[in-house]
Structure formats: structure tokens, C-alpha cells
Structure 1
């Protein structure tokens, strides 16, 4: 499941999310919390979730930074990278033995940060022009804040791409690579795994392309009006994960009817 918009909204708990997590634990259902945000380490995110009332272990948190590190470890073990990002990304790369350098790196790796600098972006552009492979943790163009939208990784990646003519390879959602790596970390198979998310363009799409059933919750980004604009649909739609309490063992069973009809009043 996604984190922001599914379990938490800003720094507040989505109503019923704590009961949902508790019920999954009681029923022995394994789960993984996914996030495209590469700023924080799993330990940081565990602390953030704990403050909202959710007790989720580090081992059950999978970030685009971890997915990026696993990808690079498979592609070029023991390589080097110039990183524009925060501790979540640099820690993940250090943990796989990567050298972080601004001198002739194998990769330029762009992640989320709140302190993009002109100097760092200029250096990234010159290194990509010099032959470094261009990787970005996720394609999200903007993110939410209390004051309004913030530019995110995808927006800065577009700037570097425009300047160099080189498009990045995005690791995070909706790339099914992110979902596949999370499935491996969870020890699960797509045939018996459900993806819960609040965004059609990342969560639902990545779930579909990885062969999972998908559940869209309306507690975050996508609503019925925006969801209907996409050429694909989730398996079901619910208001929030709180509505799954009492039905975690059979989320799509008869007790659920058709969640799209429940939410929209349609006759489908």
C-alpha cells in the first residue's frame, strides 16, 4: 500500500488506518508500505508513522530510494554515482557499496529534496553531458504541502532532460520495477497480492502493470472525477482503508458488493 493519502494525510492519521493495520496483523496478513518519496530512510518513516499512531517496522517500508539502490546493485555492482537528493537516497546507495562522487561517476541519480541548488543541478547536467547515465527515483512532478504544491523529482528531471537531451530512467511508481522489487522484499507473488493507493497515475497503474489487483482509496489525490479520466480502472474503489476493517481476509468478497457503485451511486 501507498503511505501518503492512504495511511496518513500530511501528519495526521487517516481515520481507521490504525485499526486496518492491527487487523492485518491479527489475521497474519503480510504487508509492505510503499512510497515514491526518497528523502527519508525507512527508520525516519517508521518514526513519522509512529507519531501518528501507526506501529510499522522498518522492514515493512519500501521506498523509491531502496528500489533505486537495488536496481543499481543489479546493473553495476560497486559503481559510483553523483547524487542530488537527501539521506534516504545517499544511505541506500552507501549500503550497497556505491561511491558517491562528482568526478566521472557511472550514474547521476536524482531524488527528492527540499534544497535543490543551481550548482548541484548544473553539475548534474554537465556529468550527464559527459556520459554519466541518468537515473531518477520517481517521476512525480509535484508534491503536496500545507502551503500548496512543491516541485518534485519529475519537475527537476525535466529541467535536466531539456538541458541535456537525455531522458532519465525512472525507478519508482508507476514503473512496475518498483512493485516487483517490493514483492521480492515481501516474499509475495502478484497473483495473491493487492495494491492499495490513492493515485491512479502511480499506485493503480503500477499495480496493474505488475499483475496485482488494485484498490483506489479516495482519501488522497484521486477522486471519482479524476479517476474516470484514465483509460484503465482499479479493481475496486473505497473511501478509505478504514472501510476495509472487518473484511481484510476477503476485501473483494460478497460483503464488499461493488465498491465503485457504493461510492458513486452508479449501477455498474
Structure 2
């Protein structure tokens, strides 16, 4: 892990499963804080605000501050604001996305938007699809916060933002700009927030197809933890599908903590 100065840490499947903390997550974050290792929590979740993400982590005993959170909504808002400051944006999403767009100085409207930005939207219906089609055919650029097809819930898997985005893409015939993992846009936003180059940053996550692929695409080092989606049984299938391999593999978060704070990460001396 030479030259690594900061970390981008995935959440669901890496530090917790739903409402349940993964063993060692609290100890990992506590050790990184003690050693003053710069890090950010990076999530494809577009529905929650940074405050809500931090509260969710804190409720499980994982120390977190809102300013340590990077969501796909924040990255989407930053991307649009950089491309077209003050742009008119139509939104298909929830509170986290709306707040991020407003705080970026964007104008949320349904009248001739320049962008349609879509995240998870549990009120999505046929009318939503029809409006998205109209806006995109009217010249609006389609932006998708994250391509996750499925989301875990207390009652099983549910459709994710990517499933809704697939419907919009099929109807409009237009591929969206994808912000979240495995796209590098979210990771570039996060490394900029850290004030580091991708080469100075390591991505820690459980999913080869999203976390690790995003890290590779952005030029970061990658650490796969066997705490969630990827297992020894399915790893080769995921590697084949993602077309990437992690730089390091850790069986659990205790091993990850040892790697990240004893093998060259700056500030962990």
C-alpha cells in the first residue's frame, strides 16, 4: 500500500448489512481516526442525505460525521453544477437527491429542464416514465445517480435506481450519464474532496462489480473485503463479469485494519 494517503470506504456490505453492523467495522473506523488516516464513506445510495447516512452509522456504533459522507446524489449535483452552473434540472428521486441539487445551486423545475437526474424513487410510476421521456426528447441530458438494479431490504430484494433507469433508457433510447459506482465520476468527486489524487487513494469495498471496478476505473488502489457480495465461491465469476481484480483481498475488517494501518498507508506510522 505504498503511496496511499487516504481511503474511500463503501458502506452496505462493507461496514454493515442493512441495520446490522459487520464485526470489526467500529474498530476499523476508530483505528483510522486514531491514526489520523483521511477517509470518506462513499455510497451509491441517493435517497439519504449525508446527515441521515451519518446518523444511520452512528446508530450502529460506527463513528461518522456528515462531512465524511459522499453520496451519488452529491456527486451528481457537483457534476451538473460543473457542467452547467445554475442549470434547470428535473428530478426523479428522493430527499437526498433534492437536497444535494438545491445546495449545488441548481434550479429544480419540470418546465423545459436542461437535465433529468434520476435516483431511487419509490413513488416512480407510469406518469414518471412519461415525464422523463418528454423531458429527454425535449433535449434534456439524462443523468442516473447509480446503476444498482436491486436493493436489499428487510423484506428481500427491491428494484434499485438502475432498474428505473433501464425503463427510462428503453423508452427514450438515450443512455444516461452514470455517476455512481462502477463509474469513476463518484470516485473522482470523492478523491477531490479528500484533496488527493486517485493514485494516492485506496477504495475499500465488498463488491467487485461496483466498488472495486469503480476504484480501478478511477485509477485508485483497491482492497476487497470478504464481508458482503463477493465470496470465495463467486469471486472468479465476479472478476470475469467486472473485468478487474483487486490489489488486495482481506477476509474480514480486522485484517483490513491491519493492512490499512501497518503496511505503508501514510499517517499510520
TM, length-normalised to structure 2: 0.90
Among 248, 252, 255, the alignment partner of 2:260 is 248
Gaps of 5+ in 1: 254-268
Q: Is 220-229 or 164-173 further displaced after alignment? A: 220-229
Q: Distance in 1 between matches of 2:249 and 2:154?
A: 26
Per the alignment, in what secondary structure is the counterpart of residue 39 of structure 2? coil
* Structure of higher RCO (CA pairs closer than 8 Å, 6+ residues apart): 2
1:108-145 CA distances to partner (integer Å, 9 max, x unpaired)? 11011222222222211111122111111011111111
Q: How many residues align?
A: 253
Matched, 1:141 2:165: no
Conserved 8 A contact 1:227-1:233: no
- Could you tell me which residue of structure 1 aligns to residue 84 of structure 2? 76
Residue 242 of structure 1 deviates from its aligned partner by 2.6
Conserved 8 A contact 2:212-2:222: yes
- Could you tell me which residue of structure 1 aligns to residue 164 of structure 2? 156
Conserved 8 A contact 1:68-1:171: yes
Per the alignment, in what secondary structure is the counterpart of residue 260 of structure 2? coil
Residue 164 of structure 1 deviates from its aligned partner by 1.2
Among 242, 250, 258, the alignment partner of 1:238 is 250
Matched, 1:91 2:91: no
1:202-251 CA distances to partner (integer Å, 9 max, x unpaired)? 10011112121111112111212332122321012122223233443235
- Could you tell me which residue of structure 1 aligns to residue 6 of structure 2? none
Matches within 5 A, 1:30-45: 30-45=38-53
Q: Distance in 2 between matches of 1:167 and 1:156?
A: 13
Q: Distance in 2 between matches of 1:199 and 1:38?
A: 18
Query: Cα gap change, 1:212/1:250 in structure 2, threshold over 3 Å: closer, same or farther?
Result: farther
Q: Distance in 1 between matches of 2:263 and 2:21?
A: 21
- Could you tell me which residue of structure 2 aligns to residue 259 of structure 1? none
Gaps of 5+ in 2: 1-8
Per the alignment, in what secondary structure is the counterpart of residue 221 of structure 1? coil
Conserved 8 A contact 2:30-2:63: no
- Could you tell me which residue of structure 1 aligns to residue 183 of structure 2? 175
Among 55, 64, 69, the alignment partner of 1:61 is 69
More strand by percentage = 2
- Could you tell me which residue of structure 2 aligns to residue 48 of structure 1? 56
Q: Is 152-161 or 118-127 further displaced after alignment? A: 118-127
- CA-based RMSD: 1.5
Per the alignment, in what secondary structure is the counterpart of residue 29 of structure 1? coil
Q: Distance in 2 between matches of 1:99 and 1:153?
A: 22
TM, length-normalised to structure 1: 0.90
